[in-house]
Chains A and B, each alone.
Chain A
Amino acid sequence: MDAVKSVNLFKTYHSKETVEALKGVSITVGKSELFTLLGQNGAGKTTFLRIISTQLLPTEGEASVLGFDVLTQPEEVRKHIAVVPQDVATYGNYTPWEYAYYFSMLRGMSRKEAKESAEKALKAVELWDLRNRPCATLSGGEKKRTIISSALASNADVFMLDEPTSGLDAVARRNVWAVLREMVEQGKTILLTTHIMEEAEMVSDRLAIIHKGSMIAEGTPDQIKHLTKERFRVVVEGNLKNLGLQENNNHIVKFGSKNIVYVENEDIALELIGKALKKGVKAEIAPITLEDVFVKLVGGEAN
Chain B
Amino acid sequence: MNSKAIKDLLIITALKSLPDLKRQPLMVFFVGMISSLPLFFILVFGGQISYGLIGAMVSTASLIGMMASIQDIAWDRYVKIREMLVAMPVHPLSYALGLALAPLVISSPSLIFFSAITMWLGVLTPYSILWAALTLIVCWATLSSIGFLISTYLQKAAPYTLNSLSNILGIGLTFIPTVYYPEDILGNFSWISMIFPTSNATSLIRVYSGSLTLPFEMVVARWLILLSTMLVFAAITVVKARWREP
- What is A's interface to B at a CB cutoff of 8 Å? 50, 53-57, 74-75, 78-79, 81-91, 93-95, 98, 102-103, 105-108, 134, 147, 150-151, 154, 160
Which of B80, B87, B246 makes the CB contact (< 8 A) with A78?
Answer: B87
User: Shortest beta-carbon distance, B127 to chain A, in Å?
Assistant: 39
A83 close to B83 (CB less than 8 A): yes
Q: In the complex, how many residues of chain B place their beta carbon closer than 8 angstroms to a beta carbon of chain A?
A: 29
Please, which residues of chain A bring their CB within 8 A of the CB of B34? none
Please, which residues of chain B bring their CB within 8 A of the CB of A107? 88-89
B14 close to A55 (CB less than 8 A): no
In the complex formed, the residue of A with least CB distance to B86 is: A55
A106 close to B11 (CB less than 8 A): yes
A91 close to B14 (CB less than 8 A): no
Which of B11, B75, B79 makes the CB contact (< 8 A) with A105?
Answer: B11
Known: A89-B78, A102-B15. A74 touches B88 (CB 8 A): no
User: Shortest beta-carbon distance, A44 to chain B, in Å?
Assistant: 15
The proximity string for B residues 208-246 relative to A, scoring 1 for CB distances below 8 Å and 0 otherwise, is 000000000000000000000000000000000000111
Please, which residues of chain A bring their CB within 8 A of the CB of B23? 93, 134
Known: A106-B11, A150-B84. A91 touches B19 (CB 8 A): yes
In the complex formed, the residue of A with least CB distance to B95 is: A106
6 closest A-B pairs (Cβ-Cβ)? A83-B87, A89-B79, A85-B80, A85-B83, A53-B87, A88-B80
Please, which residues of chain B bring their CB within 8 A of the CB of A89? 78-80
Given pairs A55-B245, A94-B19, 5 additional interface contacts (CB within 8 A): A57-B244, A106-B12, A106-B90, A108-B89, A150-B84
Complex Cα spacing A55 to B22, Å: 32
Complex Cα spacing A90 to B8, Å: 20
Which of A54, A87, A105, A160 makes the CB contact (< 8 A) with B80?
Answer: A87
In the complex formed, the residue of A with least CB distance to B84 is: A83
A91 close to B89 (CB less than 8 A): no
A103 close to B244 (CB less than 8 A): no
Let me know if B43 is at the binding interface, CB within 8 A: no
Please, which residues of chain A bring their CB within 8 A of the CB of B8? 106
Complex Cα spacing A78 to B90, Å: 8
- What is B's interface to A at a CB cutoff of 8 Å? 4, 7-8, 11-12, 14-15, 18-20, 22-24, 75, 78-81, 83-90, 244-246
User: Shortest beta-carbon distance, B221 to chain A, in Å?
Assistant: 42
Known: A85-B80, A91-B19, A93-B23. A78 touches B11 (CB 8 A): no
Complex Cα spacing A81 to B79, Å: 20
Please, which residues of chain A bring their CB within 8 A of the CB of B18? 98
In the complex formed, the residue of B with least CB distance to A49 is: B87
B11 close to A102 (CB less than 8 A): yes
A91 close to B11 (CB less than 8 A): no
Which of A56, A86, A98, A160 makes the CB contact (< 8 A) with B245?
Answer: A56
Please, which residues of chain B bring their CB within 8 A of the CB of A84? 84
Known: A93-B24, A102-B15, A108-B4. A54 touches B83 (CB 8 A): no
Interface CB pairs A-B, < 8 A, 14? A54-B86, A55-B86, A55-B87, A55-B245, A78-B88, A78-B89, A82-B88, A83-B84, A85-B83, A88-B84, A93-B23, A98-B18, A103-B84, A106-B88
B81 close to A57 (CB less than 8 A): no
Please, which residues of chain B bring their CB within 8 A of the CB of A154? 88
B87 close to A75 (CB less than 8 A): no
User: Shortest beta-carbon distance, A12 to chain B, in Å?
Assistant: 11
Complex Cα spacing A54 to B243, Å: 10
Complex Cα spacing A147 to B80, Å: 10
Please, which residues of chain B bring their CB within 8 A of the CB of A105? 7, 11
Complex Cα spacing A160 to B75, Å: 22
Complex Cα spacing A151 to B85, Å: 11
B80 close to A106 (CB less than 8 A): no
In the complex formed, the residue of A with least CB distance to B78 is: A89
Known: A87-B80, A93-B20, A106-B8. A79 touches B87 (CB 8 A): no
A102 close to B14 (CB less than 8 A): yes
Please, which residues of chain A bring their CB within 8 A of the CB of B81? 91
Complex Cα spacing A86 to B245, Å: 16
Please, which residues of chain A bring their CB within 8 A of the CB of B78? 89
Complex Cα spacing A50 to B18, Å: 30
User: Shortest beta-carbon distance, A255 to chain B, in Å?
Assistant: 36
A57 close to B245 (CB less than 8 A): yes
In the complex formed, the residue of B with least CB distance to A76 is: B89
A106 close to B83 (CB less than 8 A): no
B87 close to A54 (CB less than 8 A): yes
B246 close to A57 (CB less than 8 A): yes
